[in-house]
Structure 1
Amino acid sequence: MDRIPITKEGYEKVKAELERLKKVERREVIKAIEEARGHGDLSENAEYDAAKERQGMIEARIAELESKMARFEVIDTSKLKGDKVVFGATVKIENLDTGEIKTYKIVGPDESDISKGYISIISPIARALVGKKVGDDVTVIAPNGEVEYEILEISFD
């Protein structure tokens, strides 16, 4: 069974989602099913069908999260330090062709969010950055070709 790296913050978010699904969403859908049953003939009851479909989606998501949580390896990024890029590091890089500067935090696959600058450890750019130091040039193989970056800064929260 493969371990899935995740930050403490990411783990807490997944845990909160699982609790919400079990304690709130599951109860709400059960009530909706009971209410729809009260409307009579189930064979032509769209409310019942929708509630049963929603219940299936909730139960599938609960099973998925429980499976993932069993495989999570929680990494306390507050204790990380050093001069190399590792899981949990925040890295400032410059595109050597365009001069564009971006900052990314390397996180687990379940917490990546490019709008926040969080990239998955399994993404091509993170895989290229891991193990490198400030000043190193990195080549990332992207869908539209190779992109060259220079690492400007590495920090840890």
Structure 2
Amino acid sequence: MSKVPLTVTGAEKLREELHRLKTIERPNVVAAIAEARSHGDLSENAEYDAAKERQGFIEGRIQEVEGKLSNAQIIDPKMLDADGRCVFGATVEMEDQDSGDSVTYQIVGEDEADIKNGKISVNSPVARALIGKYAGDIAQVQAPGGMREYELIDVRYE
């Protein structure tokens, strides 16, 4: 499996989730299964079935997060030296050429993307159009409503 880029913050969030799953969620579901078993007949025990299903979900998520962390290429945006070029981890301030609206995005890994918090996936059309550009360049993005042009105002590594 190939390396997946991840920012330091994104890796830390995945580690916190993994810790919570292993230290809180897993013991809770084991206790719920034990409690449900004590009620007797397992063939018609909805509590037992629900607890076993929850256990399967938790174990699957633990494996998924461990896999992501083992394949992660962790990149600290503060340590980048890209000479003002837009790269993974960079924070880009840009202006829509048509509307004049200004937006700021950080280019992050797939699992970290959160448009409400200004984080876009490195695989998104906007990020792909921005990669390699410098402040002052125009990026053309194929959007559902047609071609959009954005002028890069600033590229930061924070």
* 2: CA distance, partners of 1:155 / 1:65: 29
Matches within 5 A, 1:15-34: 15-34=15-34
Please name the residue that 1:142 is paired with: 143
Amino acid paired to 1:98: S
Q: Secondary structure at the match of 2:112?
A: coil
Superposed counterparts of 1:30-69, under 5 Å? 30-69=30-69
TM-score, with normalisation over the residues of structure 2? 0.96
Match of 2:122 in 1: 121
SS in 1 for 2:43: helix
> 2: CA distance between counterparts of 1:118 and 1:128?
15
Aligned to 1:151: 152
**Runs of at least 5 residues in structure 2 that lack an aligned partner in the other structure:** none
5+ residue gaps in structure 1?
none
Q: Distance in 1 between matches of 2:58 and 2:143?
A: 35
Equivalents in 2 of 1:68, 1:144: separation in Å? 34
How many matched pairs?
Answer: 157
Q: How far did residue 141 of structure 1 move?
A: 1.1
Q: Return the letter of the residue paired with 1:3.
A: K
Poorly superposed stretches of 4+, deviation over 4 Å: none
Shift of 1:138: 0.8
- 1:14 corresponding residue in structure 2: 14
Cα-Cα RMSD: 1.0
Q: CA deviation at 1:144?
A: 2.7
Tell me the secondary structure at the aligned position of residue 44 of structure 1: coil
* Amino acid in the other structure paired with 1:11: A
Aligned mates of 1:145, 1:52 — CA distance in 2: 48
